[in-house]
Structure 1
Amino acid sequence: MKTIIARLWHLIRGPLQWRVLWLWHAKFMVGVTGIVRDGEGRVLLLRHRMWPPDRQWGCPTGYADKGETFEDTIVREVREETGLQVKPGRLVQVTSGYRLRVEVAYEAHLTGGTLAIDSTEILEATWFSPHNLPDGVQESHRLLIQRTQP
């Protein structure tokens, strides 16, 4: 049976193979988080309107658009949510195992812009010392901040 499947697979090369793979495999959204630091080493945290009330604080985050690089996602999300400009740094973490998403985290460095929050998504944006984070920070984000200490 495996030999027959292998021969068929070889015969349907190209776009048809990609369509079969696309239909066969799971589809995921990719959430991208940025651990944004300023020149003083402080971390940008946002109080997210849509997150649970007891853990609304976290790093800038959002879903990658179709065809967008993950680095471009964090640049876009930070700009949309805060008006700030960032340069993506190193990849910090990729986490899978969720039902419909994969989480990706990058370091990012402030390069400019003026803080102006998008009040439909964000309640507050503040720079914090990584050693003095507010109550209500998402635990996964707290761990990312700790992992990326300079």
Structure 2
Amino acid sequence: MLSRFAAWIWHGLRGGVQWRVLWMSHAKFMVGVTGVVRDERQRVLLLRHRMWSRKRPWGLPTGFAVKGEEFGDTVVREVREETGLDVAVGRLVRLNSGFKLRVEVAYEAHVTGGTLRIDPFEILEARWFAVDELPDGLLDSHRRLIAETPAGRSHVPTR
């Protein structure tokens, strides 16, 4: 009986009000998107981030998706904004809930062009690293992502 009454009320609310009730009653998430970007020598692009912890400043190109943006496009935009490089996005390598109210998405990507120039507001340094020479101060989660996307197994189109 209660479920019928709830359904009757729900259907009487109509679309706009239904969406507001759903929005207010569910968790809100930011979507953090990361690119595991490799060059033609299979080195990984890492950035030393100005706003990150001084103990762990190194990480992959990362940013938040904007409303309506496809997550692969977020990788392309963030890499271009932070480094001036162009990338082709490949295989999805991670999709999971992250810290608190964040969803984490990661893709393989391959550099296709552009000129390396950092955004000094966000980035202190950008460098290519061989997988066996990753820097101290690299986020553990990014170290795991790199290990999960080994060179040679990439599903990213090259030039």
What TM-score do you get using the length of structure 2 for normalisation?
A: 0.89
Task: Give me the whole-angstrom Cα distance separating, in 1, the residues matched to 2:35 and 2:18.
Answer: 35
Task: Give me the whole-angstrom Cα distance separating, in 2, the residues matched to 1:13 and 1:107.
Answer: 42
Task: Give me the whole-angstrom Cα distance separating, in 2, the residues matched to 1:85 and 1:97.
Answer: 27
Task: Give me the whole-angstrom Cα distance separating, in 2, the residues matched to 1:121 and 1:91.
Answer: 25
Question: Given the alignment of the two structures, is residue 95 of structure 1 paired with residue 96 of structure 2, yes or no?
Answer: yes
Question: Given the alignment of the two structures, is residue 75 of structure 1 paired with residue 76 of structure 2, yes or no?
Answer: yes
Describe the superposition over 1:45-101 as per-residue Cα deviations: whole angstroms up to 9, x where unpaired.
001111111111100001111111111111110000000001111111112153221
Report the aligned-residue RMSD.
1.3
Flag structure 2 segments of 5+ consecutive residues without an equivalent: 154-159
* Partner residue in 1 for 2:17: 16
* Partner residue in 2 for 1:106: 107
One-letter amino acid of the counterpart of residue 94, structure 1: L
* Partner residue in 1 for 2:157: none
Task: Give me the whole-angstrom Cα distance separating, in 2, the residues matched to 1:11 and 1:39.
Answer: 58
Task: Give me the whole-angstrom Cα distance separating, in 1, the residues matched to 2:40 and 2:8.
Answer: 58
Task: Give me the whole-angstrom Cα distance separating, in 2, the residues matched to 1:131 and 1:3.
Answer: 61
* Partner residue in 1 for 2:3: 2
One-letter amino acid of the counterpart of residue 8, structure 2: R
| SS, match of residue 115 in structure 1 | coil
Flag structure 1 segments of 5+ consecutive residues without an equivalent: none
One-letter amino acid of the counterpart of residue 3, structure 1: R
* Partner residue in 1 for 2:140: 139
Task: Give me the whole-angstrom Cα distance separating, in 1, the residues matched to 2:135 and 2:69.
Answer: 32
- Deviation, 1:12, is 3.2
Aligned residue pairs, count = 150
Describe the superposition over 1:114-141 as per-residue Cα deviations: whole angstroms up to 9, x where unpaired.
0000011111100111121111110000
* Partner residue in 2 for 1:49: 50
| SS, match of residue 124 in structure 1 | strand
Task: Give me the whole-angstrom Cα distance separating, in 1, the residues matched to 2:98 and 2:124.
Answer: 30
